[in-house]
Amino acid sequence: MTYGFGIIGTGMIAHFHAKAIEAIPNAKLVGCFNQTAARAEKFAEETGCKAYTSLDDLLADPQIQVITICTPSGAHLEPALAAIQAGKHILIEKPLEITLERCDRVIQAAEKAGVKLGCILPSRFSEANLALKSAIVSGRFGKLTLGDTYVKWWRTQQYYDGGGWRGTWALDGGGAYMNQAIHNVDLLLWFMGDVAQVCGLTSTLAHDRIEVEDVGTAIVKFKSGALGTLEATTSAWPGLLKKTEIHGTQGSAIVEQDDILMWEFADAQPDDASIREHFARKTGNTGGAADPKAISFRGHQLQFENFLTAIKTGGQPAVDGREGRKSVELILAIYESARTGRRIDLG
């Protein structure tokens, strides 16, 4: 079966969705919708799909089984609920939404309607991150003690000025954490487990006319007892590759973008050397460290394929709505801690 896709919102990230869909043999981009009709028409011309003049018309098309939502972060709920009501499966760009109440409304609606819901967090599908997750699950780290992640990127003032929604609480939902570092926040939760407590600081240092943070630091205590740090910024010129470090009583590993910089375990295994060699500086991918357009669509493709498999088999997608909610919860707790000066308990 070939699955028909419809895209709601035709900004920058929608082009990566279109490329991912094109690369999947059993998927086809059927149509798109944007509240500004001219933008939808332009996107349709570029991607070879149909531009719909109303959201209802897009959702009524029987050739479309899956909707991907690429609207601004704080405007995911309304089109998601409309798509769910129309019986479509939906994939929502990160974050799932910008408040827990809005996240929960989407999750509950999808579960009630019996449609699949996924949140786009493609870093989980990186080969290096999958290797790291496998090592954690198999116990090679021993007792996990520290988990740290760093997203030290650069965004120009023009980046924020160029989109009316960027840098606003109402539509961006936050700054460096909610928009850029959420991928690594999700990874750290996936690797280390749920967080029990967080203490955070945020500031706006390098950009004008934005309401949200462009630099932040946070310390977390995981429910396992392990500790960790999360750093996020869009004010570190020229933009560094994102990095995650996992440490335990029997091993340590460091992943920078999609490369493994360190892979050392007390119980050395024969394939460790080949893993180090395979993932050593292999990508050359900046991952959007300085340019949000400088990313690959490969992660999206792999996540879309996983989502289609879930539809076909009746299983759960790897990153469903409840998984997508977790990073939003932690980021909002960081913001609350920064605002109140208190440690925040989660869960």
Same domain (yes/no): 50, 165? no
The string over 327-337, giving b where at least 16 C-beta atoms fall within 10 Å of a residue's C-beta and e elsewhere, is: bbbbbbbbbeb
**pLDDT tens for residues 100-131?**
999 999 999 999 999 999 999 999 999 999 99
pLDDT of 75 above 90: yes
Which amino acid, residue 282? Answer: K
Average pLDDT, the chain: 96
Single out the residue of 85, 16, 10, 105 nearest to residue 50, CA to CA: 10
Same domain (yes/no): 99, 12? yes
Same domain (yes/no): 19, 147? no
pLDDT of 215 above 70: yes
Same domain (yes/no): 263, 210? yes
Same domain (yes/no): 81, 205? no
Domain count, the chain: 2
Same domain (yes/no): 57, 140? no
Same domain (yes/no): 228, 210? yes
**pLDDT tens for residues 130-151?**
999 999 999 999 999 999 999 9
Give every CB contact of residue 51 below 8 A, 6+ residues apart in sequence.
Answer: 31, 32, 33, 34, 37, 40, 41, 43, 44
Same domain (yes/no): 161, 224? yes
What pLDDT does residue 222 have? 98
pLDDT of 11 above 80: yes
- Residue 21 belongs to what domain range? 3-123+298-319
CATH code: domain of residue 79? 3.40.50.720
**pLDDT tens for residues 246-275?**
999 999 999 999 999 999 999 999 999 999
